[in-house]
Amino acid sequence: MVSWADILIMTSQEKPAYALALHGGAAVLAKSEMTAEREADYRSGLTAALTVGHDILAKGGSALDAVESVVVSLEDNPLFNAGKGASLNVEGHAVLDAAIMDGASLRAGAVALLRHVRNPMKLARCLLEESCHVFLAGEGAEEFAKARGLELVPVDYFLTDYRIKHLQLVKAHLAALGAQGTQANPAPIVMEEPAFGTVGAVALDHNGNLAAATSTGGMTNKHGGRVGDTPVIGAGTYANNETCAVSASGHGEWFIRAVLAYDIAARMAYGGRSIAEAAEAALIERLTTLGGGGGLIAIDKRGHIVMPFNTLGMYRASIRAGEAARVEIY
Ligand code: ASP
C-alpha cells in the first residue's frame, strides 16, 4: 500500500529559502502496538532532530551540515535503528552502515560494517571531507575513525533490551516457519514489528544546495558481513543539485537491486519528471513490483518534499522556511 497523500504534499508552493525532511525508518510499530507513551517518545525524537537541522538551515548553514546533525541526533536516540539502539545481526551484534552525499559537488562518504564508531554519520562526513576514497568498510574504516579522533565505544554501548528482544522474536518467527539461520531469502517478515527501520535526512539550503544522509543498523538477524542499501550511493542515499536528494529506508536488498535513489534522480534528469512523479514511479514500478517494502524521503531544488512508503507507516518529519513543522508516523 502506498501513501499517496505524502507523494502529493508540498509540491505546489513557492520555493522556500530552505527545507528539510527526515525519517526514522519505514518499519513502524503496528497501531495496535503503539501506546500513547511510545508515540509521544517517537514524536519527540523526530521533533528534536528536526529542530537541530532547522536551526542550522535557518542560520544560513549548509544542507550538508544540517543532514549530518539530524542523523547524529537520531543515531544517539535509542528508539531508532541507527547508532545506539541499532538492530542486531544473527550473532547479536550491532554492525552499522552510513552514508552522506553533497549534491553540489557530488562528493560522498560511505562507511559499512562498523562495530565501535559511536556515530557512523560523523565518520561518513569525515570521509567525504578528508579522503580520496568514497567507501570504507570494517577494520579499515574503524582505523580511519581512530586516526581522525572520532569517538569509539565498546560494542555493548549500542545494545538495548528492545533490540535484544526483537532479535529473539525474529529468530523464533523464522524457526516457527522452519527457516534456518539468517534471512537468506529476504522476503518481508510478517510480524508485529518489522525487521528493518533506519534514519535519514535530506535538505535544501539558502544557497540552493541539496544533501542527503542515511544511517542504519540494517536488518535484524542479518548475516555477518551483510551490507544493505544505506551506504550504497545511488541505492539508499543520493544527492545531486540538478535533480534531488534522497534517503531510503526498507528492505535493502531490493533498494540495491532497483538502484532506487538514483532511479528517482534519473527519471527527473532524463525523463523530465517532477519529484512527485519520479518518486511515485520508482516506488511502484521498481520497489513494489519487485516485492520490496520500504519508503523514502526526497527533496528537489525547488524545495518540494515527498515522503512515500508502501509499509504501514514511516516515522517522518519535515519543515520548509516560513511554514509549520510536520511530524507523522502513519
Ligand atoms: N535499508 C536498511 C538495510 O537494508 C535497513 C533499514 O532501512 O532499516 O540495511
Separation of CA 148 and ligand 1 centre (Å) = 27
The residue whose CA is least distant from atom 4 of ligand 1 is: 252
Query: 250: Cβ below 6 Å to ligand 1?
Result: yes
Closest-lying ligand 1 atom to the alpha carbon of residue 251: 4
Q: 323: CA distance to ligand 1 center in Å?
A: 30
What ligand 1 atom has the least distance to the C-alpha of 196?
8
Q: Which residues does residue 111 pair with via DSSP β-bridges, in sequence order?
A: 98, 136
Angle at alpha carbon of residue 118, lines to 193 and 29, rounded to 5°? 15
Ligand 1 centroid from CA 254, angstroms:
10
pLDDT for the residue 151: 98
Cβ of residue 252 lying under 6 Å from some atom of ligand 1: yes
Q: State residue 195's pLDDT score.
A: 62
In the structure grid, which three cell numbers stand for residue 143, read together? 582505523
Active site residue 47: no
**Burial class (CB within 10 angstroms; exposed 0-12, middle 13-18, buried 19+) of 90:** middle
pLDDT of residue 328: 93
- Predicted local confidence at residue 299, as pLDDT: 98
Considering 11, 35, 51, 198, which one is annotated as catalytic? 198
196 lines ligand 1 (CB under 6 A): yes
Going by their DSSP bridges, the two strands 108-114 and 135-137 should be labelled as parallel
Which ligand 1 atom sits nearest the alpha carbon of residue 249? 7
Angle at 201 between CA 309 and CA 303, to 5 degrees: 85
Ligand 1 centroid from CA 175, angstroms: 22
From CA 106, how far away is CA 203, in angstroms rounded?
Answer: 15
Best residue among 216, 246, 287, 314 to mutate for probing ligand 1's pocket (most ligand atoms within 8 Å of CB) is 216
Residue 19 near residue 203, CB atoms below 8 Å: yes
Positions in the chain whose pLDDT score sits under 50: 1, 4-5, 8, 10, 184-191
Q: Give residue 158 CA to ligand 1 midpoint distance, Å.
A: 17
Residue 330: helix, strand or coil by DSSP?
A: coil
Regarding the beta carbon of 198 and ligand 1, being less than 6 Å apart is answered: yes
Put simply, whether the predicted model's pTM sits higher than 0.85 gets the answer yes
- How many Å apart are CA 309 and CA 303, to the nearest integer? 19
> Could you tell me if 268 and 173 are in contact, meaning their C-beta atoms sit under 8 angstroms apart?
no
- For residue range 231-255, list pLDDT tens digits in order: 999 999 999 999 999 999 999 999 9
Distance CA 131, CA 142 (A): 14
Q: Whose CA is nearest to atom 9 of ligand 1?
A: 218
d(CA 11, CA 198) in angstroms, rounded, equals 25
Sequence-separated (6 or more) residues with CB below 8 Å from residue 305 = 9, 10, 19, 21, 202, 297, 298, 299, 318, 320
Residue nearest to atom 8 of ligand 1 (CA): 197
